[in-house]
């Protein structure tokens, strides 16, 4: 397998099966993200998410953090790793942001790394997550997983970054960072990679070399020990059996190699039903225009909820609706997208992909809640809360005529058009 084939296989897998991949740190603006990322060095995201709500409540802005003392901030973050240093970094970082960057988190890596507590990895995270730059932050998971699969042959994070950036298409670099992290966090674990349930075995060098050998060998030893007595008896009966290697039973191998049978996870589904009156909505779109259901009376409204601007699945979905837009219009459909992203993010997304329809900024998730599309979903074996990709078609009378939960992102436009045949 060539390196290119390996990259293509892995990227295709993630693109199809993990279209949405994002940071697990909680934040609502660039200031909060940079603070959270600084805190997350050598610490788990889970721990950081436990301390930041209180910190952001009491220090909601760069100015507020700059005016604090590191001793005070220490009290908020004492349960994270290196709290002393991090408290100093945060206060100094906020002061430098005010002094040199007008209080705005810069978008260029060269500027970001000037900030106290911000190294190349943190700068890459901020640049990609906030500013959608094609930068690859290499942490311990990205480093390990890329090397194991054979995407990289790296001895340092910088080598890993350089090699990944060289081969991953630019539009996937930011998301690939999250794909690799999450894969390392939940499947390709540092000590015992869960190869038996890993979907990447076909492209993984580590697996090609080791397979499930180590685990099987382990079981062979156990089988030998537990059958010691029996083996001796057999040996006394026939010398030819002496040299016979212990055989792992078919059941033992099956146990090791079989994918665990877990109960099938069912993601949250809206409680609204076809025939229900569609909940009213009103919000600003990417152009600052107020869009409401009442204002679209007489049209068939395609109200589609998606997790996040600019992520692969949401981009495919938006572009598919864009490509069928004129045909949808001819059939009296008007398309309106909804996510929890803000107007600025929608504007960037819309400009980048020339989207001809409104994207509503539902930052307080009011519409999302009213349409009951926020709930448990599964990603890389992990269950968490998020926006469930769902499309409602609302007829001219304001009644829900269709609910699409099985959204085919690549051909969503055609999926809607098929409804009117």
Q: Which residues are catalytic?
A: 121, 139
Task: Tell me, residue by residue from 123 to 142, as one string, x for binding to ligand SF4 by CB under 6 A and - for no binding.
Answer: --------------------
- Which of 129, 187, 321, 394 binds ligand SF4 (CB under 6 A)? It is 187
Cβ distance to ligand SF4 smaller for residue 206 or 281 = 206
Segment lying near ligand SF4 (by CB under 6 A), choices 59-67, 113-121, 191-199, 306-314: 191-199
- Which of 198, 319, 380, 404 binds ligand SF4 (CB under 6 A)? It is 198
CB of 351 to ligand SF4, least distance (A): 36
Binding to ligand SF4 by residue 201, rule CB under 6 A?
Answer: yes
Question: From CA 326, how far away is CA 93, in angstroms rounded?
Answer: 49
Binding to ligand SF4 by residue 148, rule CB under 6 A?
Answer: yes
How far is residue 168 from each of residues 153, 204, 325, measured CA to CA in Å?
Answer: 15, 16, 31
Encoded tokens for 211:
């397979």
Cβ distance to ligand SF4 smaller for residue 156 or 208 = 208
Tell me which residue has tokens 């026939």. Answer: 238
CB of 203 to ligand SF4, least distance (A): 8
Binding to ligand SF4 by residue 149, rule CB under 6 A?
Answer: yes
- Check residue 332 and report its DSSP letter: T
Burial class (CB in 10 A: 0-12, 13-18, 19+), 199: middle
CB of 183 to ligand SF4, least distance (A): 7
Question: From CA 207, how far away is CA 225, in angstroms rounded?
Answer: 27
User: Element (H or E) spanning 84, and its range?
Assistant: helix 83-101
CB of 316 to ligand SF4, least distance (A): 25
How far is residue 314 from each of residues 17, 66, 126, 196, measured CA to CA in Å?
Answer: 13, 37, 21, 30
Binding to ligand SF4 by residue 207, rule CB under 6 A?
Answer: yes
Count residues near ligand SF4 (CB under 6 A). 13
Binding to ligand SF4 by residue 194, rule CB under 6 A?
Answer: yes
Which of 11, 34, 7 is closest to 23 using CA atoms? 34
- Which of 34, 51, 188, 248 binds ligand SF4 (CB under 6 A)? It is 188
Question: From CA 56, how far away is CA 52, in angstroms rounded?
Answer: 6
Which of 329, 60, 396, 417 is closest to 404 using CA atoms? 417
Cβ distance to ligand SF4 smaller for residue 182 or 416 = 182
Binding to ligand SF4 by residue 209, rule CB under 6 A?
Answer: no
Question: From CA 216, how far away is CA 222, in angstroms rounded?
Answer: 10
Cβ distance to ligand SF4 smaller for residue 149 or 173 = 149
CB of 177 to ligand SF4, least distance (A): 16
Segment lying near ligand SF4 (by CB under 6 A), choices 98-106, 202-210, 222-230, 325-333: 202-210
Binding to ligand SF4 by residue 18, rule CB under 6 A?
Answer: no
Question: From CA 340, how far away is CA 306, in angstroms rounded?
Answer: 9
Which of 50, 97, 96 is closest to 76 using CA atoms? 50
Encoded tokens for 2:
């060539």
| Rg value, the chain, Cα | 26
Cβ distance to ligand SF4 smaller for residue 182 or 328 = 182
* Residues making contact with ligand SF4 (CB under 6 A): 148-149, 187-188, 193-195, 198, 200-201, 204, 206-207
């Amino acid at each position: 397998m060539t390196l290119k084939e390996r990259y293509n296989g892995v990227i295709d897998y993630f693109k199809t099966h993990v279209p949405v991949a994002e940071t697990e740190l909680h934040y609502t603006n660039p200031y909060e993200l940079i603070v959270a990322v600084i805190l997350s060095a050598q610490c788990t995201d889970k721990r950081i998410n436990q301390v930041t709500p209180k910190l952001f409540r009491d220090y909601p802005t760069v100015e507020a953090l700059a005016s604090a003392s590191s001793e005070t901030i220490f009290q908020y973050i004492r349960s994270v790793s290196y709290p002393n240093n991090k408290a100093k970094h945060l206060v100094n970082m906020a002061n430098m942001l005010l002094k040199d960057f007008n209080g705005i988190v810069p978008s260029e890596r060269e500027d970001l790394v000037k900030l106290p507590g911000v190294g190349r990895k943190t700068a890459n995270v901020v640049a990609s997550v906030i500013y959608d730059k094609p930068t690859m932050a290499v942490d311990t998971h990205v480093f390990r997983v890329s090397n194991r699969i054979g995407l990289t042959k790296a001895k340092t994070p910088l080598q890993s970054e350089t090699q990944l950036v060289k081969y991953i298409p630019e539009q996937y670099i930011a998301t690939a960072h999250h794909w690799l992290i999450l894969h390392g966090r939940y499947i390709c674990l540092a000590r015992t990679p869960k190869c038996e349930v890993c979907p990447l075995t076909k492209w993984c060098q580590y697996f090609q070399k080791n397979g499930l050998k180590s685990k099987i060998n382990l079981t062979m030893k156990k089988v030998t020990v537990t059958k010691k007595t029996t083996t001796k008896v057999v040996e006394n009966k026939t010398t030819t059996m002496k040299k016979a290697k212990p055989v792992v039973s078919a059941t033992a191998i099956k146990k090791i190699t079989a994918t665990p049978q877990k109960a099938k996870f069912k993601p949250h589904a809206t409680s609204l039903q076809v025939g229900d009156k569609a909940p009213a909505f009103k919000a600003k779109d990417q152009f600052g225009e107020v869009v409401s259901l009442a204002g679209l009376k007489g049209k068939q409204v395609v109200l589609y909820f998606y997790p996040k601007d600019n992520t692969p699945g949401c981009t495919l979905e938006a572009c598919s609706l864009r490509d069928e837009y004129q045909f949808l219009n001819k059939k009296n459909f008007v398309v309106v997208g909804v996510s929890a992203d803000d107007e600025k993010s929608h504007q960037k997304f819309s400009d980048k992909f020339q989207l001809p329809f409104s994207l509503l900024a539902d930052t307080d998730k009011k519409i999302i809640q009213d349409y009951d599309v926020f709930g448990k979903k599964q990603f890389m074996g992990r269950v968490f809360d998020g926006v469930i990709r769902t499309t409602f078609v609302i007829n001219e009378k304001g009644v829900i005529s269709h609910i699409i939960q099985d959204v085919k992102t690549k051909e969503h436009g055609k999926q809607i058009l098929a409804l009117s045949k």
